[in-house]
Amino acid sequence: MNTVLQYVKPYTKRIALGLSIKTIGTLMDLFIPWILSHIIDNVIPTGNIPMVIIWGGGMIICSILAIVGNISANRMAASVARDTTKRLRHDLFVKISFLSNTEVDKFTIPTLISRMTTDSYAIHHLVGMLQRIGVRAPILLLGGIGITLFLDATLTLAMIAILPLAALLIILISRIGVKLYRKIQIAVDDMVRVVRENATGIRVIKALSKSEHERGRFQSVNEDLTKKEKNAALIMSTINPAMSFLMNAGFVVVIVLGAYRVNEGTSEIGKIIAFMTYFTIILNALMSITRIFTMTSKATASADRIKEVLDAQNERDITVAEEDASNIEEDTSMNIPHIEFRNVSFRYDNSKFLINNVSFSLPHKATLGIIGATGSGKTTLAQLLMRFYDIKSGEILINGKDIRYMTLYDLRSKFGVVFQNDTLFKSTVEENLSLGRDIDLIQIKEAAQHAQAAGFIEEAGGFDAEVAIKGMNFSGGQKQRMLLSRALAGKPEIIILDDASSALDYKTDAKLRAALNTNYKDSTKMIITQRISSVMHADQIMVIDEGKIIGLGKHEDLIKDCQLYQEISASQLGGGEDASS
């Protein structure tokens, strides 16, 4: 909850002002009945018409003050809620944007989505509501107690004696409430997950006619969520009747006590009657306060979830201790390798080593082909180079400088990359290719030309053409060529293509390779692939198996020395030799 307070803090002045105005409005609302009873009890019997009209006018003025006060206070409340939510969501999004991949994997995507959405609404709701209903209740409660104290202190103290018990009850139930609402949010995550999976896997689900099964899967998450919601609602709503019973019991005590006091002559019957009126007001105020607590415990559960994200580890940038090392300049001279891995090993927490003591160096402008079995660690190598994960031991150097001592900005701005599971966004073609980078349309068009994408983009309606969600209005091969255009645009220092042409036919692939060689000869390239033909002309080919390098050299060398390479080669080129003979 402190997190939320922190976000509300900057608006303390506005809140204070709003609450003061609201207080005036509320007081006016309370004044009106008072004037009314004054007119009826004291003015009307005198028959003084002008006085009646004056007091009536007073009521109208109070009414006007009330409406003006309440409306402007509500407006301020809404604006505080707006600004708080805006900043909270902004910070949350910023945080998630910079969250390290390890953390993202830990949180999982559905829960990040629901924290950004449903949890942030819960807080918005609370901030708005608190300001709107949080004034009247305390005023009435304090005012009511004040007046009753004035009437008969002893009786009031008897009634107040109930309050600690009531407070205990509220605290106890809101504690439980936070836990219950937390469980609900976890169940919401599960629901989000199932719905999301159904949206993304609709083809498979339909193909396998599993709609029925999926409905069953949803039913169980829906039932679970509903059960938890019911459970929370039922437990949380015990508080209302319990509170009102407690207070009413206190009231009975007051009457009995009052009877004794009247009997002793220390109090009067009139006071006890007046007590009754104020008692109702106090009771209602207390019920409102209870409601605020219930809402708060719901928002607290959400706030805790948001705080978990805000407190999570960012991607590691340079740390202070490393600042000295970070002063080392990159050496871009040709005699220093552009990319160098020294004894690099890596594993995720509690998994086996995915990369095992890998060393290689790649000169400037060279092309490295990486080939190896499915799951051998090819993609991981690229991810380590871009520092999506930090290596467990060894060093990765670019231009002779350890990438851990570079800012992420300096590091990543060197790359143009296509991932295996890369995404297109719902937007225009141009926007998808530039991603808002500082690259002009001419360069983008050029890149599209090189990536063999210009033709179909033209047919689709040019660079302003719409791209649907995940690029669904383009074929697999077209999507890949757009991703390639994105990577090539701006002629990056290092190009990484991870299985970026798997959906391209060989002819297009060959054209792409030719374009890469002529137009991007100044870039250092890492090409991860299954196809020998994509890498056989590379300056270096790395054959990787179970995270270890088992062959490194040119095609001619590997075809002689490396058994795995021979096998791969035979499986792909074998048929060709038959056909060409």
Quote the DSSP letter at residue 44: G
Start-to-end C-alpha separation, the chain: 76
Under the binding rule (CB under 8 A), the answer on residue 63 touching another protein is yes
**Per-residue DSSP letters for 529-572?**
ES-HHHHTTSSEEEEEETTEEEEEE-HHHHHHH-HHHHHHHHHH
CB of 356 to another protein, least distance (A): 14
- Span from 162-170, 241-249, 299-307, 327-335 in contact with another protein (CB under 8 A): 241-249
**Please, which residue, 327 or 351, has the CB nearer to another protein?**
351
The interface with another protein within residues 336-355 (CB under 8 A) comprises 348, 350-352
Structure tokens at 33: 């009945």
- Strand order of the sheet with strand 339-346? 355-362, 339-346, 393-398, 401-402
β-bridge mates for residue 497, sequence order: 418, 527
- Span from 152-160, 171-179, 244-252, 356-364 in contact with another protein (CB under 8 A): 244-252
**DSSP H/E element including 11:** none
CB of 327 to another protein, least distance (A): 22
Q: What are the CA-CA distances from residue 252 to residues 158, 246, 249, 394, 507 (Å)?
A: 10, 10, 5, 78, 92
485: which residues sit within 8 A by CB, 6+ positions away?
Answer: 433, 444, 447, 448, 450, 451, 453
Under the binding rule (CB under 8 A), the answer on residue 44 touching another protein is yes
- Strand order of the sheet with strand 494-498? 415-418, 494-498, 524-529, 367-372, 540-545, 548-553
**Please, which residue, 258 or 337, has the CB nearer to another protein?**
258
The interface with another protein within residues 105-164 (CB under 8 A) comprises 105, 108-110, 112-114, 116-118, 121, 124, 128, 132
Beta pairing class for 367-372 and 524-529: parallel
Under the binding rule (CB under 8 A), the answer on residue 319 touching another protein is no
**Please, which residue, 204 or 334, has the CB nearer to another protein?**
204
Q: Which of 4, 7, 25, 170 binds another protein (CB under 8 A)?
A: 25
321: which residues sit within 8 A by CB, 6+ positions away?
Answer: none
Structure tokens at 369: 């082909």
Q: How far apart are CA 319 and CA 284, in angstroms?
A: 56
Under the binding rule (CB under 8 A), the answer on residue 573 touching another protein is yes
CB of 486 to another protein, least distance (A): 8
Q: How far apart are CA 37 and CA 33, in angstroms?
A: 6
The interface with another protein within residues 179-238 (CB under 8 A) comprises 188, 191-193, 195-211, 213-215, 218-219, 222-223, 225-226, 229-230, 233-234, 237-238
Q: Which of 8, 15, 27, 43 binds another protein (CB under 8 A)?
A: 43
Under the binding rule (CB under 8 A), the answer on residue 13 touching another protein is no
Under the binding rule (CB under 8 A), the answer on residue 468 touching another protein is yes
Q: Which of 419, 451, 547, 562 binds another protein (CB under 8 A)?
A: 419
Q: Which of 2, 263, 327, 333 binds another protein (CB under 8 A)?
A: 263
Closest to 472 measured CA to CA, from 440, 432, 439, 528: 432
**Please, which residue, 335 or 350, has the CB nearer to another protein?**
350
**Please, which residue, 310 or 336, has the CB nearer to another protein?**
310
Per-residue contact string for residues 67-86; x = within reach of another protein by CB under 8 A: x--xx--xx-xxx-xxx-xx
Q: How far apart are CA 243 and CA 249, in angstroms?
A: 10
CB of 100 to another protein, least distance (A): 10
**Please, which residue, 343 or 567, has the CB nearer to another protein?**
567
Beta pairing class for 415-418 and 401-402: unpaired
CB of 62 to another protein, least distance (A): 7
Q: What are the CA-CA distances from residue 567 to residues 288, 375, 547, 577 (Å)?
A: 76, 17, 18, 15
**Please, which residue, 104 or 139, has the CB nearer to another protein?**
104
β-bridge mates for residue 463, sequence order: none
The interface with another protein within residues 355-374 (CB under 8 A) comprises 371-374
CB distance 562 to 551 below 8 Å: yes
**Please, which residue, 3 or 376, has the CB nearer to another protein?**
376
CB distance 318 to 326 below 8 Å: yes
- Span from 148-156, 325-333, 394-402, 432-440 in contact with another protein (CB under 8 A): 432-440
β-bridge mates for residue 94, sequence order: none
- Span from 9-17, 65-73, 163-171, 304-312 in contact with another protein (CB under 8 A): 65-73
- Span from 163-171, 299-307, 397-405, 467-475 in contact with another protein (CB under 8 A): 467-475
**Please, which residue, 226 or 343, has the CB nearer to another protein?**
226
Closest to 84 measured CA to CA, from 314, 312, 306, 309: 306
Structure tokens at 157: 């103290």
**Please, which residue, 337 or 471, has the CB nearer to another protein?**
471
**Please, which residue, 133 or 336, has the CB nearer to another protein?**
133
Count of Cβ atoms closer than 10 Å to residue 460 Cβ:
17
The interface with another protein within residues 378-407 (CB under 8 A) comprises 379, 386, 388
The interface with another protein within residues 471-530 (CB under 8 A) comprises 472-478, 480-481, 486, 499, 502-510, 530
Under the binding rule (CB under 8 A), the answer on residue 532 touching another protein is yes
The residue count for binding another protein (CB under 8 A) is 187
**Please, which residue, 321 or 469, has the CB nearer to another protein?**
469
- Span from 9-17, 157-165, 361-369, 434-442 in contact with another protein (CB under 8 A): 434-442
Under the binding rule (CB under 8 A), the answer on residue 325 touching another protein is no
